[in-house]
Structure formats: structure tokens, C-alpha cells
Structure 1
Amino acid sequence: MIAVLNRLVEFVEGHLTDEIDVAGLAMSLGTTEYHLRRMFSSLAGMPLSEYVRRRRMAVAAADVLGEGELLGIAVKYGYGSTEAFGRAFRSVHGVAPGDVRRAGGPLRTQPQLRFRLTVEGNTTMDTRIADRPAFRLIGHSARVPLIHHGANPHIQAHIASLPAGEHIRLKELSNTEPAGLLQVSADVDPDYTEGSGLTYLHGVAVADKTPVPEELDAIEVPAGTWAVFKAEGEYPAVLQSTWAATATDWFPSSPWRLRPGPSIVAILDRAADFSTASCELWLPVERA
């Protein structure tokens, strides 16, 4: 996967003034657009689209400092107007193209990325592969923004809004793996952009033919393979670090890749105040 990401970066560098077909590029590299975007975002710390924009504007700065017309420069980098180009330029450099042309700066440079895999071997990931038939995720869902670090207050508010007895009722409905109360993230932006929307469902898994009570939301999950990572420790930090380790350690050295589908957290055990927990992270995967 590291080699694939570096080939992606090289392709981007050679096509900064072109529209990039990420889906076609992913196919030519032997992977999928979904997996490519998720791995890039996880390892680079920014979405692929953001990296492309930053690199374009870093290179475009040299043209802005020249004598060419700003409209021509805008068109060269794929923008239909100087206004659209100016917004993109300002979002990266903090100043308008005209100001840079007059004053010579300030400019912010996005270096070309290089991915490297550092193998330390001092952390063992407790992982299993599970082939599961189709099932349903049922419960109470809400649209919330994606937050990478720390507790998500929008999810906390959603869970707090449920009556205490509802958690017990949901657990009684569970009749298949993943077992127990689940935290489900679905419809996530493939770039994993912080602040983008996702569907969060607080609920349980049931067999695919199980009737769904009218008051509950449902997500249909087709048959497929899952990588299941067990994590124990301070919550939610241990879960977030496990998420990060799947991208930095596990996927680059495994024959599996992410496929579209919900990610699921099953809480196996927890402290009364939820400061620590034992949990499983279920990620939908397929052979690379």
C-alpha cells in the first residue's frame, strides 16, 4: 500500500493542471478509490482532495509571481474564473493572488509527500477475520459531524437523549454478531474529512430476516468479510489509537483493504463512568 500511495503522489505531481480521475487511477494501481482515499487521509493527515489543492496552489504561486494574466493562470489550474481561483489561493496562502503579485508574499508551501513504512514490531494487534452473512443494524440514528480526536459531543448528546430503559430494550433485541450495544458510523466521507457528516446509529445487530420495530432505524448490511480489532484501555483514546494503527500498521502489511460499509464499535465491557473500556472495532474488508 505504501508503494501505491507514492505512485499516487507521483501521478498527482505530474497532473497538477489536469482533472484527476481518482477512480480510474485507483483501478490502474490495483486497488479501489474508497480504500485509496481512506488510506491517504489516514496516513497523510488530510484528504486527498485537500492535498491536491494545496500542491496546485503551491505551484501556482510561481505563476502568480510572474507576469501572466490571472485569468489565464486560473484556467490553467482548472478554475473557471479569477474569483474561484482567488478563493482557493487564499485558502492555502492566506492572501489574495493580487496581493502576492504586488508584495511578493507571504506564501505557504505544501511539500510533495513521500510515504514510508517504519516497522517497529513492538505492538501486537489483536485481530481476527470474520466472514458474516447479511445482517441488519437497528437502533436510533442521527447525522453528526466527523471528529477525529476526543469524544464527539454530538454523538454524546444523541445517546443522552435516549431514555435509560431504551438501552436495555435494544440489548434484548440483539441476536447476532457483533453482539451487544453498538456504535455504528455509516455514510462516511471516503476522504474522512473532519467536520464532514456521517450517520451515527446507536443500536444492535440482528439477523437479516428479523422484523424491525417501526420506531427504529435500520441499516442493511450485505454478507461480507470483516476485520475485527480488539482494544482495551482509556476510552475513547484507545479506540482512536486503534483506528489509527489499522492504517499505519495493519493495512500496509496485510492482504486486505477496506471496502464500503459501516464501521462498528462493540463495547464488550466498560467502567461505570466509561473512562475505560474493552471494545471491538469491526471494519468491512476485502482481499486486495
Structure 2
Amino acid sequence: MVTPYNKGLDGMKTCWIIYNPVSGRKKFAAYLPVVEKTMHELGYEISVKPTERPRHATELVKEACYSRIDMLLISGGDGTVNECVNGLAEAQHRPLIAYIPSGTACDIAKTLGIPKNIPKALEIIKQNHAVDMDIVKGSHGYFTYVNAIGNYVDISYVTRSKWKRKFGYLAYLFTGVKQFFTIPMIKTEIEHDGGVSKGYYSLIMFVNSRRVAGFNIIRRPVLDDGKIDIVLYRYVPLLNNLLYAISFFFSPPKLPGVTRLKTSQAKVVTEHHRKWNIDGEAADSGNQTLQVIPKRLRIIVHPKRAKKYFHHQERGSTDV
């Protein structure tokens, strides 16, 4: 049994460093002494918690919340962040999150202006500019930035890990080439704040981010307005990849065959066999119910991104 506590020795603030030791190219562990030194200088008592198995980060975060830890410094890819969010989403005490990305895509980090370069990421943490960010509760748990079904969405988890470590983001492109000629036709009905959208789609995305799979999908997202963006790509024979290319590379606000909506909740009905992609990880196929949970995640971001993507909270640094 863990005994709840709030402060460390001599009244110091407490920080758990939770990291995925096999994420990306395994660089974070080499920087641990630097990270620990920096956090000590910021007044934190440190405990280091490497993950040991799938969903271990969720278990560790739940323990940290129960123990009333002040800060969680997370390092890993988008999947590690997702596990952490699922650990704290329903907790009464939710620690401040600092993030050092070490995965392959790290879409949420790029949206929040947090670099993969560890010393530079530590500088962002030192600035201590925290925001309250929306997350979304779905049928398969909580997610931070994307819930999608359709073409190319499984690339992040079907691409071999050794390819990702060797080639980085290029490994995703190699896998994507294989799907160029296999466009799915997904019969779907979606209830949302604006009504009902139904038809045959090749790609459906619920997005709470600017970037997905390395592409800027939402030009100017608002990440604290209690709503999520929906992007629907109609199934158009022979033209689907052209729609993707124009949308992904140029991000036009309007494009024939592509519908963009915002909603606080959604109900998705589909019998397609394809699995959903939730924050870069595979989830079961089938129907979904989604509900935005406003401002549930308190996280340190780059000050410029706070001003750009967070419009419904006070500006300025926080001191925790």
C-alpha cells in the first residue's frame, strides 16, 4: 500500500521521471544524470521509474496521483503519453506534466513546441509555462491528440520497431507506400454537435492537435475550447490519394471531398473491420462514443504555442 504524501525530504517538491527505455533510439537513459541534475536545481526530489511492460506507465501514473506527486516528467513516444493520460485522467490529484519526447513521430510534442533535443526540452521545462489542455474520453480509453480509422492510420504500429530505430520517420513512409493501392471504403454514420454525417469514407480523424503522423492536419487548432476537430475524407475512387496529398502537404481550409467539423462529443457507427488508431496505438474496430473532457491535462509547453493554441485560460508561467 502506498502512503499518500505531498512533499519530499525537507519540504522539497516531488517529481517522478517515467520513461520508456526502448522508445526511439534509446537516448534518454544516457541523459538521465543531466535531467536529474536539472530537476534537483529546480527544487524537486527525484524518483526514476522506467517502464517495464505495456501499460506500465498507466500503473505508475495512478500510483503517482495517489501519492500526490507534484510533477511527472514523461519521456517516450506518443503511446507513452497516452498511457500516462489514461493513468491520471480520472484521478482526484493530477500532477503537472513535463514532457521530453523520445519516440519516432512525437506529434503531440511538435504541436506543443517541445523539441526532441533533450537539453532544449529541459529549457522549456525551466520556463515552467503550463496550460490546461483538453483530452477526449472514448470507448477505448482517453486520448490526447488523435482517434482515427481508415487508410494509413495503422502505419505507426505496423511499422517494425527495428525500422523505426534505424530509419526514424522514414520508416513510416516506407510502410505507407504499401498502402497506396489499398484504399478502404468505410460506411459510417457520425452524430456530432452539428447534426449527422454519414456516407462512405476512406479516412476519418478526430483530432486534438495540429500534427498527425508528421503532417499538419489542423491549421490553427484550439486545444482548450472543449471541442475536437473532425476531418472526414470521402471515398472517391482513383482520387483518394490525391485528396490526401493536397490535404496533408498544403492544409487548405476547404477542399472538395473533405469535410471539417468541430464537436464536443460524437457517436460513431461503423461495421468496418479496420482497427482504430488512438494516439498512434491500435484499438479494437467498431463503434465509438467520444466526449471531450475540457482542460483535464496540465502540461508545460513552449510559451509561443501556449499563446497560439490555448485561448481560454490565463497567460503566464505557473509555479508548482
State TM-score, norm by structure 1.
Answer: 0.30
TM-score, scaled relative to structure 2: 0.28
Structure in which a larger fraction of residues adopt helix: 1
Larger radius of gyration: 1
